Amino acid sequence: MPLSEKLSILLLKPDFLVSTEWAYPHWQDSREIPNVSYAAQEFGGQTFVNDLERPVFEKFVFLAQLKMWLLNQAEVTATIMSGSGSTVFAVLYPNVDIDLLIKRARDQLDRELWTCQAHTL
């Protein structure tokens, strides 16, 4: 899917913050959680990776669970944590029912998730 096409983005954020000041110093000694994907993801001819997922997911396991849940949804083409967290965003395939995906996320993960739908121009 080329980035020139209009894409739908879903942002999900739990009710906690992750301090950038905390995340950066913890990167060097952090370890990957088994069964969590940290691999670069490609879509639209671009490569997306976030090295801060490793220390953040190690301490805030729910964010790793959120990312992996999103990766397993049929509507999602790619997902990654934004910055140092705690927002995780997903790039969606065209013509999906975003409201249904949000409902499933709240039902299966956290009823209090903050959500935002966005579209590229």
pLDDT tens-digit map of 27-68? 999 999 999 999 999 887 888 899 999 999 999 999 999 999
**What is the domain count for the chain?**
1
Q: Is residue 88 part of a domain?
A: yes
State which residues form the domain around 26: 8-119
Burial class (CB in 10 A: 0-12, 13-18, 19+), 19: exposed
The helix (run of H) or strand (run of E) holding residue 8 is: strand 8-13
First to last CA, the chain: 15
Q: Determine the Cα–Cα distance for residues 65 and 120; give it in Å rounded to an integer.
A: 26
Share of the chain above pLDDT 70, in %: 96
Output the pTM of the full model: 0.91
Residue 61, domain CATH = 3.30.70.890
